[in-house]
Copies of this chain bind each other. A is one copy, B any other.
Amino acid sequence: MKGRVDLSHGGGGRAMQRLIDEVFRRALGNPALDEGNDFASLGAVQGRLVMATDSHVVSPLFFPGGDIGCLAVHGTINDIAMSGASPLYLCASFILEEGFPLSELERIAQSMGKASRDAGVPIVAGDTKVVEKGKGDGVFISTAGIGVVPEGVNTSGSMARAGDAILLSGTIGEHGVAVMSSRENLSFGTPIVSDTAPLHRLVAAMVSAVPQIRAMRDPTRGGLGAVLNEIAMQSGVGMNITENRIPMREEVASACEFLGLDPLYAANEGKLVAVCPPEKAEFLLETMRVHPQGRDAQIIGEVVEDKRHFVQMETVLGGKRIVDWLSGEQLPRIC
Contact = CB atoms under 8 A, between A and B. Distances in A.
A51 B42 contact: yes
A42 to B, nearest CB: 4
A228 B17 CA distance: 14
Given A39-B50, A92-B53, A137 B129 contact: no
A40 B76 CA distance: 12
B13 A326 contact: yes
A299 interface: no
A14 interface: yes
A7 B332 contact: yes
Nearest to A154: B41
Interface stretch (A77-85, A161-169, A185-193): A77-85
A53 B142 contact: yes
Interface string A51-90: 1111111000000000000000000000110110100010
A284 B70 CA distance: 45
A183 to B, nearest CB: 12
A220 interface: yes
A36 B234 contact: yes
Contact of A95 (B13, B80, B95, B234): B95
A125 B39 contact: no
Interface in A150-172: 156-158
B45 A45 contact: yes
A51 B40 contact: yes
A55 B13 contact: no
Contact of A328 (B11, B36, B94, B142): B11
A135 B137 contact: yes
Contact of A37 (B38, B157, B330): B157
Contacts of A19: none
Among A37, A147, A149, A332: residue with most chain B CB under 10 A: A37
Contacts of A82: 37-39
Contacts of A92: 53
A129 B43 contact: no
A79 B36 CA distance: 12
Contacts of A217: 37-38
Contacts of A47: 44
A331 to B, nearest CB: 8
A326 to B, nearest CB: 3
B327 A13 contact: yes
Given A37-B83, A83-B37, A328-B8, A93 B13 contact: no
A55 to B, nearest CB: 4
Contact of A94 (B55, B128, B136, B226): B55
24 contacts: A8-B329, A10-B221, A10-B329, A12-B326, A13-B226, A13-B265, A13-B326, A13-B329, A14-B325, A14-B326, A35-B158, A37-B82, A37-B217, A40-B50, A40-B51, A51-B89, A51-B125, A52-B91, A53-B144, A55-B94, A131-B137, A134-B134, A136-B137, A146-B146
Given A95-B95, A125-B144, 15 more contacts: A10-B329, A11-B221, A11-B222, A12-B226, A13-B265, A13-B329, A14-B326, A35-B157, A35-B158, A36-B234, A41-B83, A44-B47, A130-B329, A135-B136, A136-B137
